[in-house]
Amino acid sequence: MIYLDNAATSYPKPKEVGRAMLHFLEKVGASPGRSGHRLSIEAGRLLYQTRESLAELLNVIDPLRIIFTLNVTEALNLALKGLLRPGDQVVTSSMEHNSVMRPLRKLEKRGVEIKVVPCSSQGVLDPVDIEKSIKKNTKLIVLIHGSNVIGSILPITVFGEIARKYDILFLVDTAQTAGCYPLDIKKDNIDLLAFTGHKALFGPPGTGGLVIGERVDIKKLNPLKVGGTGSQSESEEQPDFLPDIYESGTPNTVGLSGLNEGVRFILKEGVDKIRQHELELTQKLIEGLKEIPGVIVYGEDQVKNRVAVISFNIKDQLPSEVGLRLDEEYNIMSRVGLHCAPAAHKTIGTFPIGTIRFSMSWFNTFEEVDQTILAVRNISRRV
């Protein structure tokens, strides 16, 4: 099998991930912060270790400013719904995933003003257009870092500088970049960084989080949910300190112990090394696809401006039919359709049909790329 659906969920994971999860289930198993016995203390230690690993990866000084959620979608909902009030304006792009667009459309019905700044068909966003969209009531800029449709990477450092210039907050969706692209919350001028564990961070599903930068006043960021935290149990009011204010309910400690090992694997291998491998795979695959008559590859020509996500179509063939043949005849796993990002597909001109998407990771090989190119060539010839 050739797995090329890593933009949805990475597979395989480093072996250490599963081992850590099994160790938790067999040897620990308790709830962190809910008891004083040794197993509960060990569970709490595992949670903090995961915060520390992520803090090292993302250059977060205080690990307690890393809030755990079930995924990047929950993290984005926490930031958007927690910050924006009726009368506020939020600026975003036309390449966003529905994990941003759907909460924004919900908030729009409650009086939040949304400005969607168009990107080019290559996924390029002009910083000048973002700056022109800022008004007196602008509260937030929210942008996807790496497109889950065509892999285009936005220069977030520049957009973060604009946010600081106008004293507004900058929220970044790093679903496709955290773990496989260098990120530094300080150098990149990020105020809120939403991440997911189950993609390039090599963790299991059900893990993710939100990094809350020091410019964010937590008194103005409402929790998405409230309830038991294991702290201040004598009070019926939600704690007002990090991370407890945003982490109600028993956490997914087994999943987060796996995420910790995924992040440690990245730290050991090195993000730059992972990035270089994925760049080389992407270059080879794009070049091979473009040589096939009838194949249309979308996105930036410069591979350095992409993550390892490639969308394409074959002339006169439906994406769904191509994806089915890739799976059933060639044992190649891809994703077809609109990829939960209709705005992005409208931007690149593939709505409502969508595309076939290949997305690679550290564990893919050049031999797999060669086999994939051959398979697409055969399908394009209807062999």
Per-residue DSSP letters for 288-347?
HHHTSTTEEE-S-S-GGGB-SEEEEEETTS-HHHHHHHHHHHH-EE-EEE-TT-HHHHHH
Q: What is the mean pLDDT of residues 106-116?
A: 98
DSSP 229-264: -SSSTT-SSPP-STTGGG--S---HHHHHHHHHHHH
Higher pLDDT: 152 or 35? It is: 152
Q: CA angle, 295 as apex, 351 and 276 as ends, to 5°?
A: 95
Please give the Cα distance from 54 to 67 (Å, whole number): 11
Please give the Cα distance from 241 to 218 (Å, whole number): 8
Q: What is the mean pLDDT of residues 58-80?
A: 98
Amino acid at 270: G
Closest-CA residue to 174 (of 205, 208, 202): 208
Amino acid 282: pLDDT: 98
Maximum Cα–Cα distance across the chain: 70
| Contact call for residues 201 and 6 (beta carbons, < 8 A) | no
Separation of CA 319 from chain center: 24
Q: Which tokens belong to 91?
A: 């600026």
Q: CA angle, 213 as apex, 208 and 89 as ends, to 5°?
A: 90
CA Rg value for the chain:
21
Please state whether the peptide bond connecting residue 14 to the residue before it is cis, i.e. omega within 30 degrees of 0.
no
Name residues whose C-beta falls within 8 Å of residue 241's C-beta, 6 or more positions apart in sequence: none
- For 291-307, the pLDDT digits (tens) are 999 999 999 889 999 99
Higher pLDDT: 55 or 382? It is: 55
Q: What is the mean pLDDT of residues 216-221?
A: 97
| Contact call for residues 145 and 172 (beta carbons, < 8 A) | yes
Please give the Cα distance from 105 to 114 (Å, whole number): 8
Looking at domain 2-10+271-380, its CATH superfamily turns out to be: Aspartate Aminotransferase, domain 1 (3.90.1150.10)
Domain ranges of the chain: 2-10+271-380, 15-269
Please give the Cα distance from 327 to 259 (Å, whole number): 29
Whether the predicted model's global pTM rises above the 0.85 cut:
yes
CATH number 2.60.40.1220 given to 15-269: no
Which residue is listed with tokens 């900058």? 170
- For 229-252, the pLDDT digits (tens) are 999 999 999 999 999 999 999 999
Amino acid 383: pLDDT: 75
HSE, CB side, 13 Å, CA atoms: give it for residue 140. 27
- For 257-297, the pLDDT digits (tens) are 999 999 999 999 999 999 999 999 999 999 999 999 999 99
Closest-CA residue to 92 (of 113, 110, 73): 113
